[in-house]
Amino acid sequence: MNSQPGRGVQQEAKPPLSEAAKASRTKTFALFRMFLVSVLGALFVYQLDVNYLWLATVLTAAGLALGISLLVRAIRLKESKLVLVGTISGLVMAVVMVPLLVTAMVFFNQVRDYQGCMGRALTDRATNACVTQFQNVLPTKVG
C-alpha cells in the first residue's frame, strides 16, 4: 500500500486536442449516431410489419454505407475503441439483416398473410392454425 495518496502510478497527461481534431471527433460521433439510428431503425421497422419492408431495406442500405465509411474513418484516424467496436457490431447486425430482408421479399405475400392471421388470432388454437397454414404455403425442404 502506498502511504502517500496520489503518488502511486504516474499517468501520462494527454495533450489538448487541436480544433481540427475536435471537429474530426465531432463529425465521427455524428456519423456514429446516424449509423446506430439507421441500423436499429431497420431492425425495428422490419419487426413492425412486412408492408414497411421497403423502409427497412433503405435503412439497412444506409446503415451498411455509413458503417463502412465509419469503419474506415475510425481505423484511419484512430478514433475511440467504443466507436470501432460499436461500428463492427452494427455492421454485423446489418449484414444479418440482408438475408432476412431478401427472404421477406421473396415470400412477401405469404409473410403478409401470416402477419394478418397472427394479428387476428386470439387463442392458442388460432395461433397454431396460423403457424400451420404458414408452414403449408412455404416450399418444402429439398434433401
Residue scoring higher pLDDT (18 or 29): 29
Domain extent listing, the chain:
22-106, 108-143
Is residue 42 within 8 Å of residue 97, measured between CB atoms?
A: yes
Q: Calculate what percentage of the chain has a pLDDT beyond 70.
A: 85
pLDDT at 142: 41
- Residue range 46-61: mean pLDDT, rounded: 89
Residue scoring higher pLDDT (9 or 128): 128
What is the rounded CA–CA span in Å between residue 105 and residue 107?
A: 6
Across the chain, mean pLDDT equals 83
Over the stretch 38-52, which tens digit does the pLDDT of each residue have? 999 999 998 888 888
pLDDT at 24: 76
pTM for this prediction? 0.72
Over the stretch 80-95, which tens digit does the pLDDT of each residue have? 788 888 889 999 999 9
What is the rounded CA–CA span in Å between residue 32 and residue 89?
A: 12
pLDDT at 76: 83
